[in-house]
Amino acid sequence: MKKFLLTFVLAVSLFFRSIADEGMWLPMLLGQQVYADMVKKGLKLTKDQLYNINKASLKDAIIIFGGGCTGEIVSAEGLIFTNHHCGYNAIAAASTVSNNYLQDGFYAKNKGEEIPTNITVQFLLRIDDVTKEVMDGLKGLTGADRVKKQGEVLAAINKRMSDVDQNIEVRVNSLFKGNQFLAFVYQRYTDVRLVGTPPESIGKFGGDTDNWEWPRHTGDFSVFRVYSSKDGKPAKFTETNIPLKPKWYLPVSLKPLKDGDFSMIWGYPGGTNRYESSFGIKLATDINNPTLVKLRDVRLKYMFEEMKKDPAVKLQLASSVASIANYWKFYDGETKQLLKYDILGQKQQYEQKFKAWAKGKPEYENIFTDWEKTYAAWRPYAKHRQYINEGINGSPLIAFAGSLLQLEAALVKPGTPMTDVKKLAEAADKQRTAFLAEENKVSDQQVVAAITKMFYEDIEKNQQPIGFYGTLKNAYGPLDDDATYKKYAADLFSKTMIFDDNKWKAFIANPDGVALQSDPAFAHASAFFTNYISKYNPYFQQFNTSNAEFGRLYIKGIMEMDPVKAKMMYPDATSTMRVSYGAVKSYRPRDAVFYDYVTTSKGLLEKYKAGDYEFDLPANQIELLKKKDFGQYMDPTRKDLVIGFITTNDITGGNSGSPVINGKGELIGLAFDGNYEALSHKLAFDKDLNRTICVDIRYVLWCIDKLGGGSNIIKELKLVK
């Protein structure tokens, strides 16, 4: 009976918000029913305090941090809190082997010690509904014509509403698969400085072992500051800039958390596809996800082996490995959850209801017949695309060599102006410098050997680059032998001009098409990329266009089928500002297992392993924790330092660094992860098992103050006890 009820509720919630804490809501379109539910569950703020374009509101404290995270303003002097993994690249860039902020941590004792970065942040100014203008421009259009025209219309609106002089950028987003269009107006600030970070052993405690898992004891935070010109406007870095005076900043709560406490999370969730068809679910579980996991597993294996041997290599590859590993585990978990709860069957059940309603309605009745044909036409090539993106392009060397295809095209095209060739050559030279700084040849060579063999074994022979494997066999040996591919990769790496400064400089000084085509690394990249781009990418473009069109019509039909319930539909995440609400809450992931809603220093010490790559801790932290030197950050109910907590909030990638806020608008933690039992959340929300994993703000402050000596940072904050 329990399984039947869970399946029924999940099926209903595939398209309409249930009583669960599901939904990533646009703050300007909360609606009275949703807002009333938030108040019922513990929200104390008014609608105007949440979102207002005419006066300061909570939304003014929430920022896009860098290229794919969220941050929040926490002081009257532009102080930013976000996740450690969001600031990771900036921290790594500021680090050296002798002055290693990743390893040792860093807290500026004053503003003069803050470190400039290449990070930018964006503040949302307002959201405008431009649906009518867009739809008027798309009347009568479908398929590829509609896609092309939509791009032109959106670009025109973006250009018209943006203001380069004021750093104001507009991005029109398509919601509900092209049934609504909103213009998000942002202001970008470019002077962002590193203020503080814990040691990596704290910020990444638990590593890949604990990734997507609860209980968790990770201090995933970092601290930055945004600066402006003296008149408060965006400005490039200069010593005369001043800390930004924000419109709104979040007070910080030191109060203990209780099971069931209201929580809301604001941020910029990157992407969900909750309205995906059953065909999309099947393609994900059968081909896309397993192939991605398999290919990333190989890359991680060889990179991790080299990182363990040398601290310099660990620093060099740390950011790349963290990025690859994160979604390796995610897509593995997503597949398992989709299969476990039969999301495919639930989607099909709902689609049968839609098909029955659509009979006799010309706009909708043939959607699923035609949609199925679209997937059937693309499915034979789906694995090939994953191999190109995650396998061939997964080698840094081959990815760089592939970037030279544009230069080659210019070199072999008759009449190409030399000025154009020089520009492309100069750009390639700069890209090579950046590539070499991050390249680890030993692991990359092993990746190329392994992936080249896997491509031969896994991809249909009639889809493979013509002549490539025959030539490889003649020169290096049997195609079923690992040694063949190792010899091939060794030759490729030793003979490419990309690693030879003299040969490369000679080529850049006098770019030549034949010389480039003769380079083994370029020849390898060209064989695979050209084969895919010329033969199979057109199929993918056709698939994408048709899939988008059917998806748009399906959502439109759903809204017509049940207009009352449609009012409670929330749009998929699109890297635009959203708010979700729920509660701090424990859970039972499986029979006889109970997970508390918080973790403490007791559990942190239990996990600690001296010298371990993932579970080591700084010696002074061990000492302070054993002495229970928690200061004002101790949880009075537990007589311990709370490290992390979980909530029922609905989030996804892009919410990293998002503030977790109580009913009074006070910061209680930073969201940084989801739980393994609910990794289907991009495609289907699980009302019982979904949890957001957060670092408790009291642990953040303890690390800054007691462990890091950053009392000057603490003094900036508005602490609420």
In a domain, 468, yes or no: yes
Measure CA 529 to chain center: 25
Q: Which whole number is the average pLDDT over 54-69?
A: 96
User: Distance of CA 474 to CAs 458, 478, 488, 625, Å?
Assistant: 21, 8, 11, 63
Cα–Cα distance between 52 and 165 in angstroms, integer?
A: 24
Residue type, 41: K
Angle between helices 311-340 and 343-358 (to 10 degrees): 50
| CA gap 197, 220 in Å, rounded | 9
Distance CA 85, CA 1 (A): 42
Q: Residue 106's beta-bridge partner residues?
A: 197
What SS3 class is residue 581? strand
**HSE-CB for 655 with a 13 A CA cutoff:** 28
Per-residue pLDDT band at 8 (split at 50, 70, 90): very low
5 has pLDDT over 70: no
Residue 150 lies in a domain: no
Residue-wise pLDDT tens digits, 616-667: 999 999 999 999 999 999 999 999 999 999 999 999 999 999 999 999 999 9
Record the tokens describing residue 396, joined without a space: 């840094």
Structure tokens at 536: 């199979």
Neighbours of 583 (CB within 10 A): 19
Q: Does the pLDDT of residue 4 top 50, yes or no?
A: no
Q: How many domains does the chain have?
A: 1
pLDDT above 90 for 318? no
> What phi and psi values does residue 73 have, to the nearest 5 degrees?
-85, 130
Among candidate residues 268, 264, 363, 172, the one with its CA nearest the CA of residue 657: 268
Is residue 160 domain-resident? no
DSSP 503-534: HHHHHHHS--HHHHHH-HHHHHHHHHHHHHHH
Structure confidence at residue 96 (pLDDT): 84
Say which residue the tokens 């005076």 belong to: 245
Contact (CB, 8 A) for 176 and 202: no
Active site residues: 85, 220, 656
Residue 674 is assigned to a structural domain of this protein: no
Burial class (CB in 10 A: 0-12, 13-18, 19+), 479: middle
Lowest mean pLDDT among 91-105, 122-136, 218-232, 310-324: 310-324
Give residue 370's domain range: 278-538
**For residues 200 and 85, what is the distance between their CA atoms, to the nearest angstrom?**
9
Tokens encoding 71: 């941050």
Q: What's the whole-number mean pLDDT along residues 385-398?
A: 97
Whether the CB-CB separation of 703 and 198 falls below 8 Å is answered with: yes
Quick: pLDDT tens for 197-247: 999 999 999 998 999 999 999 999 999 999 999 999 999 999 999 999 999
If DSSP codes are grouped into helix, strand and coil, which group holds residue 88?
helix
- The H or E element spanning position 373 is helix 367-386
Q: CA triplet 318, 323, 327: central angle to 5 degrees? A: 145
d(CA 512, CA 431): 18
CA nearest to 105, candidates 221, 230, 245, 234: 221
Decide if 298 is inside a domain: yes
Largest pairwise CA distance in the chain: 77
> Residue 310 — very low, low, confident or very high, per pLDDT cuts 50/70/90?
confident
Task: Please report where in the chains the tokens 């032998």 appear, as a residue.
Answer: 481
H or E element in which residue 91 lies: helix 88-94
pLDDT value at residue 592: 96
In this structure, the strands spanning 598-600 and 578-583 are unpaired
What are 496-528's pLDDT values in tens digits?
999 999 999 999 999 999 999 999 999 999 999
Please, which contacts does 112-116 make with residues 24 or more away whose CB atoms are closer than 8 Å? 114/193, 114/194, 114/195, 114/225, 115/193, 115/194, 116/191, 116/193, 116/194, 116/237
Compute the mean pLDDT over every residue in the chain, rounded to the nearest whole number: 94
Amino acid at 268: Y
Element (H, E) at 420: helix 418-438
pLDDT for 7 equals: 33
Q: Kindly report the CA angle at 93 between 92 and 99, in degrees rounded to 5?
A: 70
| pLDDT surpassing 80 at residue 3 | no
Peptide bond into 215 cis (omega under 30): yes
Q: What is the pLDDT of residue 91?
A: 96
Whether 620 is in a domain gets the answer: no
User: What's the alpha-carbon Rg for the chain, to the nearest Å?
Assistant: 27
Query: What pLDDT was estimated at residue 305?
Result: 87
Q: Could you tell me which residues come within 8 angstroms of residue 256 by beta carbon, excluding any fewer than 6 positions away?
A: 635, 636, 637, 638, 642
Taking only the tens place, the pLDDT of each residue in 355-366 is: 999 999 999 999
Share of the chain above pLDDT 70, in %: 97
Tell me, what's the pLDDT at 565? 78
Specify which residues 273 forms β-bridges with.
none
Cα–Cα distance for residue pair 177/493, rounded to 1 Å: 45
Place of tokens 């603490």: 714
Tell me whether residue 371 is in a domain. Answer: yes
E strand or H helix that includes residue 202: helix 200-203
Secondary structure of 207-220 in HEC code, one letter for each residue:
HHHHCCCCCCCCCC
684 pLDDT more than 50: yes
pLDDT greater than 70 at residue 11: no
Please tell me the distance from the alpha carbon of residue 659 to that of residue 58, in angstroms, as a whole number. Answer: 11
Q: What is the pLDDT of residue 535?
A: 98
Number of H helices, E strands in the chain: 29, 20
Any idea which of 10-24, 128-142, 610-624, 674-688 has the lowest mean pLDDT?
10-24
Least confident of 489-498, 567-576, 630-639, 694-703: 567-576
Output the pLDDT for position 620: 96
Q: Is the pLDDT of residue 60 over 50?
A: yes
Contacts (Cβ under 8 Å, ≥6 apart) of 51: 27, 28, 30, 57, 58, 59
- Retrieve residue 660's tokens: 């977790």
Q: What percent of the chain has a predicted confidence (pLDDT) above 90? A: 89
Comparison of pLDDT for 3 and 77, the residue scoring more: 77
Q: Is the dihedral of CA 124, 127, 128, 134 positive or negative?
A: positive
Alpha-carbon span 645 to 671, nearest angstrom: 9
In a domain, 370, yes or no: yes
- Tens digit of each residue's pLDDT (9 = 90 or more) over 81-95: 999 999 999 999 999
| pLDDT attached to residue 20 | 60
Q: Find the mean pLDDT for residues 10-36.
A: 71
**Which pLDDT value is given to residue 1?**
28
